[in-house]
């Protein structure tokens, strides 16, 4: 039998371009009865003087992280948060849901910018990629520039369309079709269409509240898929890197999934971690690399391939991993030792995956010991490529790689952090 639950004390109300006029009766009553109302200056200015006139109207604190403690102190009182559109889609509702239980919150969404933009463009919403650069780096768009892709992007401000157009031109995609949709759902609604080439050199000014729709050409000269196995030339490196075919095998066994955290030990130029991050926008990765030159390469590669959130640690394992969140997967491409493997197996979450590579006889012997002790898969990978031999071609083998892949049993317990 379901017990009657108390009404949520925290209400998150989405507002459209038409302001409070577009709200229903429940939203109006919640605002009228609120003891505290949070929102941006634009949202708070919409509240009439005779509505919620006894409420404490607050802008968001700086830094924003202080808002959670403030809200917690108001628990049990009537609190309203005003937001734009659908608060659960790249909005404050999603952020608050990570800190408060669903029984604490009531969310009243308004048709979001993506839905409105798709309806104006005639794009099926489920066929378009929904992205944002509001509060995020523009480089995060790069992995999505694929043939025929349709992207809906929440802009940061009025300068964003020209910045994105310039980025597309720098990637050789001048013919991409861009549509800027301003003030969706309001009296000042406007649509502007242009190619990336024209928009990048134009002087058009746009409203800060805009959605950018990008239609990529069906044929692109140069692009990289999100799936694992980018060509080696996609990365700047010093010769020491996990090569394409071996890397694809490792990532298949690391099994990236939404929200998962990877530890990349001996990250080098970052190729494995970067491909992990490209697989899903919520994936996370920590790379540990003692050599500054290689960390510089890894940072450059992460930015140029659209995953600027890659976290790099200047240290060696296992000491440099103390206090880090427990990983869902671990890749050991360098610095392999019995101590490192033992530490990673202890830190790994139940069901987590560990993949280690060896190219020397000594490290191969260690992986054999780990295989005999823990099980898993032991594989020897050898790649040969056709290369010129005089006027003909012959096979040129690369150095073989021994790969140990292991999945931690689900019943094994782990800590949330290593130094709890």
**140 bridge partner residues:** none
Strands 353-358 and 401-407, bridge-based pairing: antiparallel
Distance CA 383, CA 385 (A): 7
pLDDT tens track for 12-55: 999 988 888 888 999 999 999 999 999 999 899 999 888 878 89
376, HSE (Cβ side, Cα atoms, 13 Å)? 26
The stretch 366-390 carries a mean pLDDT of 96
218 contacts 148 by C-beta, under 8 angstroms: yes
Is the pLDDT score of 269 beyond 90?
yes
What is the DSSP-derived secondary structure letter of residue 6?
P
Question: Is-contact 118 23, C-beta < 8 A?
Answer: no
Looking at the structure, tell me whether residues 238 and 339 fall in a common domain. yes
- Residue 414: pLDDT over 80: no
In a domain, 204, yes or no: yes
Q: Residues of the chain with pLDDT > 90: what percent? A: 82
Task: Print the domain residue range for 55.
Answer: 10-110
Residue 184 within any structural domain of the chain = yes
- Could you read off the pLDDT of 284-340 as tens digits, one per residue? 999 999 999 999 999 999 999 999 999 999 999 999 999 999 999 999 998 899 999
CATH code for position 169:
3.30.950.10
> Is residue 209 a contact partner of residue 182, using CB atoms and an 8 Å limit?
yes
Number of folded domains in the chain?
A: 3
Query: Of 110, 128, 153, which one is at a domain's C-terminal end?
Result: 110
Residue 305 lies in a domain: yes
E strand or H helix at 194, and its extent? strand 190-195
Same domain, 258 and 195: no
Residue 267 lies in a domain: yes
Q: Which SS3 state, helix, strand or coil, does residue 399 take?
A: coil
Predicted local confidence at residue 214, as pLDDT: 98
**97 vs 105: CA distance, rounded Å:** 8
Mean pLDDT of 112-119: 93
Other C-beta atoms within 10 Å of 387: how many?
9
Beta strands in 272-359 (DSSP E): 284-288, 311-313, 329-332, 353-358
pLDDT value at residue 285 = 98
């Amino acid at each position: 039998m379901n017990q009657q639950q108390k009404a949520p004390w925290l209400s998150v109300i989405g507002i459209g371009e038409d302001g409070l006029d577009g709200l229903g009766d429940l939203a109006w009553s919640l605002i009228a009865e609120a003891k505290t109302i949070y929102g941006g200056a634009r949202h708070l200015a919409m509240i009439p003087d005779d509505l919620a006139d006894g409420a404490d109207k607050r802008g968001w604190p700086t830094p924003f992280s202080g808002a959670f403690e403030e809200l917690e102190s108001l628990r049990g009182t009537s609190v309203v948060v005003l937001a734009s559109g659908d608060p659960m889609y790249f909005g404050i509702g999603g952020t608050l849901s990570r800190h408060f239980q669903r029984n604490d919150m009531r969310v009243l969404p308004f048709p979001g910018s993506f839905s409105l933009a798709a309806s104006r463009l005639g794009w099926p919403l489920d066929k378009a990629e929904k992205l944002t650069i509001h509060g995020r780096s523009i480089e995060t768009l790069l992995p999505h520039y694929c043939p025929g892709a349709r992207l809906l992007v929440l802009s940061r401000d009025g300068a964003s369309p020209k910045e994105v157009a310039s980025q597309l031109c720098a990637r050789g995609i001048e013919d991409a079709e861009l549509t800027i949709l301003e003030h969706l759902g309001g009296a000042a609604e406007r649509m502007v269409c242009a190619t990336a080439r024209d928009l990048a050199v134009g002087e058009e000014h746009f409203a800060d509240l805009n959605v950018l729709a990008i239609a990529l050409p069906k044929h692109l000269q140069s692009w990289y898929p999100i799936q694992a196995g980018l060509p080696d030339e996609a990365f700047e490196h010093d010769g020491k890197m996990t090569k394409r075919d071996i890397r694809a095998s490792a990532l298949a066994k690391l099994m990236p999934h939404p929200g998962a955290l990877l530890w990349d030990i001996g990250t080098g130029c970052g190729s494995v971690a970067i491909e992990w991050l490209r697989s899903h926008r919520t994936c996370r990765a920590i790379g540990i690399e003692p050599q500054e030159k290689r960390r510089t390469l890894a940072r450059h590669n992460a930015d140029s391939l659209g995953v600027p959130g890659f976290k790099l640690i200047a240290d060696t394992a296992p000491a440099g991993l103390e206090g880090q969140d427990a990983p869902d997967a671990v890749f050991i491409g360098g610095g392999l030792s019995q101590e490192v493997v033992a530490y990673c197996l202890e830190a790994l979450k139940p069901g987590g995956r560990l993949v280690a590579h060896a190219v020397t006889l000594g490290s191969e012997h260690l992986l054999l010991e780990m295989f005999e002790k823990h099980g898993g898969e032991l594989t020897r990978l050898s790649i040969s490529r056709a290369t010129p031999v005089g006027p003909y071609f012959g096979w040129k083998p690369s150095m073989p790689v021994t790969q140990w892949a292991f999945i931690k049993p689900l019943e094994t317990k782990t800590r949330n952090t290593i130094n709890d």
